[in-house]
Every structure is written in C-alpha cells, then in structure tokens.
C-alpha cells in the first residue's frame, strides 16, 4: 500500500511539474522542487528488488524529468548552452573513470544482480549535472537571488526542526522517521531529514552563510531581511545542537570569511548586524543552553576517539594510495579492501566497528588514485579561481554581485571543511546545493569574460 501511495504521489508531482513548466516557463522552479523532494522524500523509495535498476524515488524520477526537459530545450534550440571547459571535462572524465573502475573491480553489480551506482549518482553524476544545468539556467540576477531565497527557506525549516528535536517536541518534527532511533545515525543530536548530524550541519551552514547576502543587500526585499534575521537568531542554536565539531568549525570559518569581505563593503551595516546578532543570542541562548546541553557540548568538544579513528583511517588511505598510486583500489571498494591496509598504531586506539571512509577527498585518493584526485582537484580549484577572478573584475558599483561571490566562498568553506570529515558521496542534497551555486558563479565569470573580450 505504501509503494502504491508513493507511485501516486510521484505521478501527481511530475504531472504538476510538467504543467508548471508549460505555464511558468522557469526551469529554476523545477530545480527547487527536485531539491525539496530530495530533502523530504529521499527515503520514500519503491524497491526494485526484481530488477537490475536502482530503487526508484521521487527525487530520482524528478531528476530524470528535469534532464529530459533540459535536453529537449537544447535540441529544439530553445536554450543556448555554454561550451565545455576544463571543469566540465574533468567532471565527465571523473564519472567515466569511476564507472570504468567499478566495472574493472567487479563492484558495479551488488547482491541480487542489481546495479550498485547509488553513490556515483548521488555524489557525482547528479551534482555535476546540476552544475552544468545551473550555468545555463540562472541567466539573470533575480534567478540567482531566488536560489539564495530557497536556501534561506530550507535553513528556517532545518533550524526549527533541530530545535524541536532538541526540545523533544515530536509533533512538530517532519518527516517522522527523524524520530526513529533505529534509522540513520547520530540519534539524540540535531540530524534533521538527513538522519546524519554532520550533513544536517552542512546544510545549516549553507543557510547561515546565505543570510548575510540579504542582510547587507536587497534594498527592497524587506520580507527576506525579516526571514534572515529570524534565521540569524535560530541557526546558531541549530548548528550548536548538531554537536559536531566539523560543523562548528565550518560555520565559524564561513562567518570569518564573510565578515572580512563584507566589512570592507559596508561597515555601518556590519556593525548593525553584529549588534542585532549579539542581542538575539543573549536573549535566546539562555532559554536553550541548560546544564545538560552544555555538558554534552563540552564532552563532544574534547572527545578524542573520533580524532584517533580518523588518524588511523589516514594510514589506510595512504597505504592504499602507495600500493595503487594511479588507479586506486577501485571506486566504492574502500570498505571491502581496507582491512588489508589497516595498521594498528601504538597508543592510538581505533573504535569504529567498520572501516569506512570519513574524508571525501582522501577517500577518492585511496579508491581512484592519482588520476581520480587530479580530476577532483581541477574541478574545485578551477571553480575557486573563477570566483576569485570574478570578484576582482567586478566594479565597486556591483556590490550586489560582489556580495554573492563572498557568500559562495562561505558556502565553499562549509562544504570543504565538512567534506574533510565525512563521506559526502551519500548525500546529493548538499552536493547539489553547492554545485548549483558553483554553476551560478561560474556562469557569471564566463559572462564577464565574454564582455571583456
């Protein structure tokens, strides 16, 4: 019965989205519907047990629908697209290399003769596709602002959900599987619809970064300033309730980067926002930070076991890379091969029950060797350099777009810090949000280069 309801929901949503496209003709709304379905209905799947295909879910069907619409618009010459650069080529060859690696190491098919491509889709194919789509869809500043508005709304939802989780107000928590301690990990911390505190904290970090765009810009958007002030008050609490050091560090680094650049642009606004932030924290924090909460936070702050475990895993990454420096041990083969490369380090206890990657980049180095990490580094470094060039080429009068670039750097700080501590490949929402924003910034730089030329 549940599967039938999901099928009906998916059919209604796709039909509704198709009609919306026909009437509104704005592709970005389809992207937001896809992201929302991924956020809220990711785990509502239709099992394809008797098929080689992966499980079907609303977000995967919507992704296929968006892809079909996008390609159709290109074929009928309704949409002009940018040509590939080294970023898109690196993305394409990385995914191709990963697929070949899975076939070469016999990991492309899992138990039951089903395709084991879930992580390739969620970690790379979907986010990289969204990078390219975003480049060719976000063609004006209003749409770019719309993306940050969406992030703000997601941040408000995640922040209040985190507070409801902390206060055990179960009736207001949605989806309900968040309350199931047998589902996911990190039960008892603010883990949100991801059922994983670090990923929830990454998404909250994005939202925390986005609020400063609306606080320092958008003269006529009073409602979005109000939403931003609300999020300024509640998101630090939500980030705190994740009890995850990487989340805290990523948010603080993002905040520092934004403050440095925003302070140069608008000192008066910075002082006002800083005062509002301090007042809000002083008013709200005492009602939530009781003795038990502070004790848990203190324990998490000085807990040594996760650090020791990650140091032990770095030995595994390094041993794998030394043994397989060019091609690695095989995409998604870390867990199966890691016992062969594990070494007990004296005075460094290892507490994980299994050997799984907890660093996105080191995991790529181990699984895909020097070739795989080269593709990834080209992607991230090229995107960062493009954003720096864009910032330098913008005029002082273009402070609105300058602020957006700075906010992107905040996003990137949050994403990279957390990616160094967890395997991001399992969570397409945060991957896609980051790469959509990267695609927006990359397009702005390419437009700027064309104008200069």
Residues forming beta bridges with residue 189, ordered by sequence position: 187
Report the alpha-carbon distance of residue 232 to residue 229 in Å, rounded. Answer: 5
* Helical ranges in 285-398 per DSSP H: 291-301, 305-323, 334-341, 360-393
Cis peptide before 175 (omega within 30 of 0): yes
Report the alpha-carbon distance of residue 162 to residue 188 in Å, rounded. Answer: 10
pLDDT digit string, tens, across residues 237-294: 999 999 999 999 999 999 989 988 877 766 666 777 777 777 766 777 666 676 677 6
Along the chain (453 residues), what's the average pLDDT of each consecutive run of 10 residues?
54 63 73 89 68 69 86 86 93 95 79 68 93 93 93 96 92 90 88 94 96 77 86 91 93 91 72 71 69 72 76 88 92 85 73 71 94 96 96 84 94 96 89 97 90 67
Report the alpha-carbon distance of residue 205 to residue 248 in Å, rounded. Answer: 9
Residues 6+ apart with CB under 8 A from 408: 387, 437, 438, 440, 441
pTM of the model: 0.90
Q: For position 52, what pLDDT does the model report? A: 58
Report the alpha-carbon distance of residue 431 to residue 121 in Å, rounded. Answer: 11
Q: For position 111, what pLDDT does the model report? A: 60
Task: Calculate Rg over the CA atoms of the chain.
Answer: 22
Percent residues over pLDDT 70 in the chain: 82
pLDDT digit string, tens, across residues 308-367: 778 888 888 999 999 999 999 999 888 888 888 887 777 666 655 566 788 899 999 999
* Helical ranges in 25-117 per DSSP H: 27-41, 58-75, 86-104
Q: For position 1, what pLDDT does the model report? A: 43
């Amino acid at each position: 019965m549940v599967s039938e309801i999901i099928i009906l929901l998916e059919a209604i949503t796709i039909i509704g989205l198709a009609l919306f496209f026909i009437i509104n003709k704005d592709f970005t709304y389809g992207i937001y519907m896809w992201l929302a379905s991924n956020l809220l209905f990711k785990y509502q799947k239709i099992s394809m047990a008797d098929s080689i295909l992966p499980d079907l879910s609303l977000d995967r069907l919507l992704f296929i629908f968006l892809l079909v619409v996008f390609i159709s618009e290109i074929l009928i010459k309704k949409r002009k697209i940018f040509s590939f650069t080294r970023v898109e080529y690196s993305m394409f060859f990385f995914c191709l290399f990963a697929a070949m690696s899975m076939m070469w190491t016999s990991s492309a098919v899992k138990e039951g003769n089903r395709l084991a491509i879930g992580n390739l889709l969620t970690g790379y194919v979907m986010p990289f596709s969204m990078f390219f789509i975003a480049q060719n869809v976000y063609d004006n500043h209003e749409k770019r602002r719309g993306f940050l508005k969406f992030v703000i709304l997601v941040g408000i939802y995640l922040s209040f959900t985190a507070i409801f989780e902390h206060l055990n107000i179960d009736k207001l928590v949605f989806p309900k599987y968040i309350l199931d301690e047998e589902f996911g990990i990190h039960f008892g911390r603010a883990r949100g619809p991801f059922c994983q505190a670090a990923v929830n904290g990454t998404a909250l970090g994005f939202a925390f970064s986005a609020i400063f765009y609306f606080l320092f810009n958008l003269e006529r958007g009073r409602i979005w300033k109000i939403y931003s002030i609300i999020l300024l008050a509640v998101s630090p609490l939500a980030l705190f309730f994740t009890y995850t050091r990487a989340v805290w560090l990523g948010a603080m680094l993002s905040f520092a980067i934004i403050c440095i650049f925003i302070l140069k642009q608008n000192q008066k606004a910075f002082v006002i926002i800083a005062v509002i932030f301090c007042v809000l924290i002083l008013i709200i924090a005492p009602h939530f930070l009781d003795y038990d909460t502070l004790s848990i936070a203190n324990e998490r702050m000085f807990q040594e076991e996760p650090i020791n475990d990650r140091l032990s895993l770095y030995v595994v990454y390094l041993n794998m890379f030394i043994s397989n420096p060019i091609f690695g041990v095989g995409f998604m083969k870390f867990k199966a091969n890691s016992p062969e490369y594990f070494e007990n380090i004296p005075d460094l206890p290892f507490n994980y029950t299994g050997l799984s990657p907890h660093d996105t980049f080191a995991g790529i180095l181990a699984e895909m060797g020097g070739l795989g990490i080269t593709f990834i580094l080209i992607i991230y470094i090229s995107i960062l350099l493009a954003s720096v060039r864009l910032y330098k080429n913008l005029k002082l009068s273009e402070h609105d777009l300058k602020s957006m670039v700075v906010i992107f750097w905040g996003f990137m700080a949050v994403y990279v810090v957390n990616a160094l501590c967890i395997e991001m490949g399992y969570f397409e929402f945060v991957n896609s949000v980051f790469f959509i924003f990267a695609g927006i910034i990359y397009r702005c730089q390419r437009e700027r280069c064309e104008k200069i030329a």
